[in-house]
Amino acid sequence: MDAEILSDAGPSARALQINKGIPRWADLTIAVMGLIVVTPVIVVIVLAIAASSGRPVFFRQKRVGRGGRMFDLYKLRTMKPNAEGVQITSRDDKRITRLGRFLRRSKLDELPALWNVVRGDMALVGPRPEVPRYVKLSDPKWQMILQVRPGITDPVTLRLRNEEDLLAQANGNPEKYYLSELQPSKLSGYVAYLQQRTCRGDFRMLWRTIVEVATKNSVGV
């Protein structure tokens, strides 16, 4: 993707109705309170990562945000240091460390993303941010999706909570399967969600995600 800024959403994207979700002030308040609560947990995990596989302990990756602007998404590192390869991860990916498998399954690796919400890069609820390699600014669906802040969770993420398992069954080519099957389904789901989105619905989605993570340890990507 050459351009970092989506300067013209195009007539197709503008014609679609996008409803508002949780207000920014509420996102900020909840994210700050969340960071205060989970900071001790993050510190313990940071020490465990450093002891088991060294540094760095945080994972930072470029993602595409609102308006096509790039931002750094923060997570706790779950792969071996300096791991390279495709930018999607299946459940049996050999780059994942032993501790990383637990962190990904429990979604504890996602906790630093609350800092992205505080910074204004992301919202608590919204379409998940994608890596630049897999974004097409000319696609009307992407044009619509990129008019809002990406989120930590959303209805599509909740529905595809077993995405890493699906990628593991992709006959040795998870990237091809992701681009031909999973991503088109996700984009259609994001568009439908944004057209039906409500503030109350986003608060319910946030609560459902917390409950799912706490009880099933299987939400997110």
The mean pLDDT of 159-179, rounded to a whole number, is 75
**Is the alpha carbon torsion for 21, 150, 125, 163 positive or negative?**
positive
The mean pLDDT of 114-121, rounded to a whole number, is 97
The mean pLDDT of 167-189, rounded to a whole number, is 82
Q: What is the pLDDT of residue 181?
A: 84
Q: What is the pLDDT of residue 87?
A: 62
Band of residue 158 on the pLDDT scale cut at 50, 70, 90:
confident
Instruction: Name the residue with higher pLDDT: 93 or 68.
Output: 68
The mean pLDDT of 194-203, rounded to a whole number, is 95
Q: Structure pTM?
A: 0.85
Residue 217 confidence (pLDDT) above 70: no
Residue 201 confidence (pLDDT) above 90: yes
Residue 219 confidence (pLDDT) above 60: no
Question: What's the mean pLDDT when you consider all of the chain?
Answer: 85
Instruction: Name the residue with higher pLDDT: 85 or 181.
Output: 181
Q: What is the DSSP string of 148-194?
A: S--EEE-HHHHHTTTHHHHHHTSTT-HHHHIIIIIHHHHHHHHHHHH
Q: What is the pLDDT of residue 3?
A: 42
- Per-residue pLDDT tens over the stretch 38-53: 999 999 999 999 999 8
How distant is the alpha carbon of residue 84 from its chain centre?
19
Q: Where are the domains of the chain?
A: 21-216
Percentage with pLDDT > 70 across the chain: 81
Q: What is the pLDDT of residue 111?
A: 95
Residue whose token pair is 């207000």: 23
Q: What is the pLDDT of residue 90?
A: 65
Band of residue 86 on the pLDDT scale cut at 50, 70, 90:
low
Residue 166 confidence (pLDDT) above 90: no
Q: Give the burial class of 94: count Cβ atoms within 10 A of its Cβ; 0-12 exposed, 13-18 middle, 19 or more buried.
A: exposed
